[in-house]
């Protein structure tokens, strides 16, 4: 009996799907700008990172990686190509669906850490204590009341999405469901 999914061809297609290099570079640059914006709102975070100036942190997930250089100002920049990482953080969950579910439920993804443990401890502190005050940023653009309404709507949407993801079955592209195997 054939137990493979009728959609198994999609799994190999999705694995081969790669964004163009220019899009990856632009996305990484935008991520650095956002990270620096959040860091600049918290002076303690900047001073902690400044102590590790010159260090390179590599974040990896599936086929994607991002190398960040810590600047003397306690901010980040894209590391030059070929510079070895002092710390490598590898997100071990490969399935995007499972990763999205855990992140939206407020759980940190499982991470394999290789390299400088003191730098890892500083990044752990940042993960625990650094938060983006998106309502403050939105209030600068739209005013206090609309910003509060937007954040409230976003939080309600996120709560509903978390509920949906917690109840949704995980897709399995590798094997057929029992209904397909039974021929129903």
Span 18-28, pLDDT tens digits? 788 899 899 99
Going by the DSSP 8-state scheme, the letter that residue 173 receives in this structure is S
135 is written with which tokens?
A: 């309502």
Segment 140-152 shows an average pLDDT of 91
Neighbours of 112 (CB within 10 A): 10
Answer yes or no: is pLDDT of 31 > 60. Answer: yes
Number of H helices, E strands in the chain: 8, 5
Contact 76, 69 (CB under 8 A): yes
- What was the pLDDT predicted at 78? 96
Flag the least confident range among 29-33, 77-81, 145-149, 166-170: 166-170
Query: Structural domain boundaries of the chain?
Result: 8-182
Quick: pLDDT tens for 59-97.
998 888 999 999 999 999 999 999 999 999 999 888 777
0.75 exceeded by the pTM?
Answer: no
Contact 127, 49 (CB under 8 A): no
- What was the pLDDT predicted at 109? 83
The dihedrals phi and psi of 87, each to the nearest 5 degrees, come to -140, 130
Cα 98 to chain centroid distance, Å, stands at: 13
- What was the pLDDT predicted at 128? 87
pLDDT bracket for residue 177 (50, 70, 90)? very low
């Amino acid at each position: 009996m054939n137990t493979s999914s009728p959609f198994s061809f999609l799994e190999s297609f999705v694995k081969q799907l790669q964004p163009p290099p220019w899009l990856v570079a632009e996305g990484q640059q935008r991520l650095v700008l956002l990270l620096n914006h959040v860091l600049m709102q918290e002076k303690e975070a900047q001073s902690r990172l400044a102590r590790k100036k010159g260090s390179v942190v590599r974040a990896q997930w599936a086929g994607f990686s991002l190398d960040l250089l810590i600047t003397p100002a306690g901010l980040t920049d894209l590391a030059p190509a070929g510079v070895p990482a002092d710390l490598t953080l590898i997100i071990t969950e490969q399935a995007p669906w499972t990763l999205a579910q855990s992140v939206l439920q407020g759980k940190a993804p499982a991470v394999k850490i290789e390299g400088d443990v003191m730098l890892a401890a500083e990044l752990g502190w940042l993960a625990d204590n650094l938060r983006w005050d998106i309502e403050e940023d939105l209030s600068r653009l739209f005013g206090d009341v609309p910003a509060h309404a937007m954040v409230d709507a976003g939080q309600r949407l996120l709560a509903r999405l978390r509920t949906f993801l917690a109840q949704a079955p995980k897709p399995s592209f590798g094997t057929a469901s029992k209904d397909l195997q039974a021929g129903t």
